[in-house]
Amino acid sequence: MPLYDAHIHLTDKEYSDYIERIITGLRAMNIVACSVTVDIDTTLRSFSLFNQHRDIVKQFVGIHPEAAAEDIGRFKEIFGDNLKYIDGVGEIGLDGTYAEKGIASLSRQSDVFRTMLELAESAGRPVSIHSRKSLDDILEILPSYRLRGTLLHWFAGGKKQLARSADMGLYVSYGPVLVYSEEKKVLLKNTPRDRLLVETDGPVRYAKCFENLPAMSSSFLVSVVSAASSVLDLSYDETCSLIEANTSAYLSVA
């Protein structure tokens, strides 16, 4: 059965020098990666790199809150012209950090986020959402849209927010931090099993595990699944089956 990495930035320049090796590794290990973009440049790079590898790379395209100043009209044109290659919309969302730093106001971020949700709704594509310092705001916005599948990537809320997300039918994902974080393990224990996904969020580096190397599905994902299986008191194979079923449902793959 395949493993699924629900959120990774394969278009990041960190991977540029060895992206073909990454693709080979994904294929050899039977891993499907949901590769997200953050702006127009990475979206165009995604199509260039992965249109011929759609069996192992699911292309999510979007405008990240840090890039909220992007030309949204241009992005919408690109989206429409390449819809047949687009499997989802992401990474999108809100982030108070960028407002605090003066990079993008929350008003602008909200406008862009809503536009991304409209695109996902009209195209019938799932979304992958960034929600740092903004989870409550996002949970207020989402019911206004009829979305095919919604992932709160790298879930960082509390138990009450997790329960509310579950009641809304949202998916949540956990990454390599699960290997050492007791807080994440507690959240996982409280996550409905049919709402669980796993990710690496590469090329993020994890200082407390994996020797601070850039995350890759083919080297990190097995450890994340193993950690999840321990928390859930399931076998590794049972956890793989659970994640496969959940990710297929999220992506609406028959």
For the chain, domains (ranges, CATH) are: 3-205+214-226+235-251 (3.20.20.140)
For residue range 118-163, list pLDDT tens digits in order. 999 999 999 999 999 899 999 999 999 999 999 999 998 999 999 9
For residue range 44-70, list pLDDT tens digits in order. 999 999 999 999 999 999 999 999 999
For CA atoms 146, 192, 132, 248, the dihedral sign is: negative
CB 201 within 8 A of CB 90: no
Cα angle 183, 196, 210 (rounded to 5 degrees) comes to: 55
pLDDT at 7 over 80: yes
For residue range 241-250, list pLDDT tens digits in order. 999 999 999 9
Helices (H), the chain: 19-29, 40-50, 72-81, 96-100, 106-123, 135-141, 159-167, 182-189, 217-232, 236-251
Give every strand in the sheet of 171-174, ordered side by side.
3-8, 31-36, 57-61, 88-93, 127-130, 150-152, 171-174, 196-198
> What pTM does this model have?
0.96
Q: What is the DSSP letter of 17?
A: G
Q: What is the DSSP letter of 204?
A: -
How many CB atoms neighbour CB 207 within 10 A? Answer: 7
Percent of the chain whose pLDDT exceeds 90: 94
Q: How many Å separate Cα 237 from the centre of its chain?
A: 23
Q: How far is CA 252 from CA 20, 86, 106, 163, in A?
A: 27, 13, 31, 23
